[in-house]
C-alpha cells in the first residue's frame, strides 16, 4: 500500500546553521514557499515530512522521517521547529491557519506512533483561544 498525505501546508523550509547561529533556507536558489506534506505509510506505520518548492522544478527541500518521541516546538504561531538525528528543521508558514493545520497533523502522527491515537486523517483539535462565551458571561456578573 502506498503513502497517503494526512495534511499539507504552505511554508518556507529552513535549517538551523549551528556554526553561524542562524536559520538558512533549505535547498538551492531563492527562498520560496514549498508545499509541505505529512505522509503516512500504513503498511509499516511510519510518517515523514516531505516538502517541494512551489515552482517549476519542484525541488525537494525536506524529506524527514517522524520518529516516535520527536519534540515538535511551536515557537510562534507561524514558525514551528523540530530536531532529527542530523539537524534542526524549521517551517515558516504562510498563514496561522496553515501552521495550525500542520501542527494538528504532526501531533496526530506522533500520537499514532505513541499508540495513543488511531490511524486516519488528522482531524481538527480543540484550540483554546481564550475564555468561552459562558466564562465571559460569568466574569461580567
117 confidence band (pLDDT: 50, 70, 90): low
Question: Which cell numbers in the block locate residue 79?
Answer: 514558525
Does the reported pTM lie above 0.75? yes
Sorted by where each begins, the domain ranges of the chain are 4-140
Spatial separation of the C-alpha atoms in residues 104 and 95, rounded to whole Å: 14
Compute how many other C-beta atoms are within 10 angstroms of the C-beta atom of residue 115. Answer: 9
Region 9-27: mean pLDDT is 96
- pLDDT 10s digits, 24-70: 999 998 889 999 999 999 999 999 999 999 988 899 999 999 999 99
Task: Return the bridge partners of 25, or none.
Answer: 14
Beta bridge partners of 11: 34, 93
Give me the pLDDT at residue 31, please: 87
Q: Nearest Cα to 8, choosing from 33, 37, 47?
A: 37
Pick the CATH number of 4-140 from 2.40.50.1020, 2.30.29.30, 3.40.50.2000, 2.40.10.170: 2.30.29.30
pLDDT for 136 beyond 50: no
Is the pLDDT score of 124 beyond 80?
A: no
Over residues 92-101, the pLDDT tens digits come to: 999 999 999 9
Amino acid at each position: 500500500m502506498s503513502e497517503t498525505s494526512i495534511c499539507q501546508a504552505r511554508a518556507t523550509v529552513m535549517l538551523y546553521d549551528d556554526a553561524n547561529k542562524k536559520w538558512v533556507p533549505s535547498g538551492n536558489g531563492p527562498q520560496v514557499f514549498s508545499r509541505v506534506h505529512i505522509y503516512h505509510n500504513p503498511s509499516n506505520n511510519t510518517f515523514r515530512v516531505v516538502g517541494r518548492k512551489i515552482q517549476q522544478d519542484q525541488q525537494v527541500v525536506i524529506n524527514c522521517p517522524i520518529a516516535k518521541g520527536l519534540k515538535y516546538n511551536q515557537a510562534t504561531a507561524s514558525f514551528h521547529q523540530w530536531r532529527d538525528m542530523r539537524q534542526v528543521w524549521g517551517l515558516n508558514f504562510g498563514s496561522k491557519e496553515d501552521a495550525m493545520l500542520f501542527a494538528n497533523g504532526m501531533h496526530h502522527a506522533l500520537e499514532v506512533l505513541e499508540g495513543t491515537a488511531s490511524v486516519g486523517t488528522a482531524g481538527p483539535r480543540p484550540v483554546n483561544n481564550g475564555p468561552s462565551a459562558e466564562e465571559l458571561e460569568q466574569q461580567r456578573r
